[in-house]
Amino acid sequence: MLPEVYFLRYSFPCARVLVDVRKTITEKEWEKLKQAAETDTPLDRAYLERIFPVAIQRIMKINPDPWTVETIREYFWNRHEEAISKDLPPMIKRLCVVKKGKLVKQIGDVFRADLGDGDIRYVHALYPTAKAGDSAMIHYGYAVEKV
């Protein structure tokens, strides 16, 4: 998979924060990210670096070349939580952590996901092969990757 596509699958789910809280991107830019994330359309790296500067900077602390799937995975699986800014609302701080969950049941094009500890969410899947029974990494309101 292209690193740009992999990165966007993980970063798009909480991009809403950039519109509603940080106000660094517009509604139109968010729609463009959504369209690309849902269709696995690769976006230009320089564009992604401009939209997600904080994430990219933190990924570069792991590897000066942020554009490898392994490095992006390491960030979102293991380092994203510490990067979630302390001044964000509690709901965002909690939901923004990338966690493993089980896709318990498919209801239309949505899945009931169980992340444990009473954390049940209804999520859309960003990976096309998603099916009930999968273990998947869940970010915010999306199932991002089967694991």
Partner 1 sequence: MCMAIPGKIIKIEDDEATIEYPGEQRTAKIVEGEFSIGDYVFVSAQIIVQKLSEEEALASLKEWENAA
Give me the residues that bind partner 1 (CB under 8 A), please.
13-14, 16-17, 19-21, 87-92, 94-95, 107-108, 110, 112, 119-124, 140-142
Q: Can you name the residues that pair with 142 across neighbouring β-strands?
A: 124, 139
Minimum CB distance to partner 1, residue 24 (Å): 12
CA 130: distance to chain centroid? 16
Between 37 and 43, CB nearer to partner 1: 37
Please, what is the minimum distance in Å from the beta carbon of residue 50 to partner 1? 20
Q: Smallest distance from the beta carbon of 36 to partner 1, in angstroms? A: 15
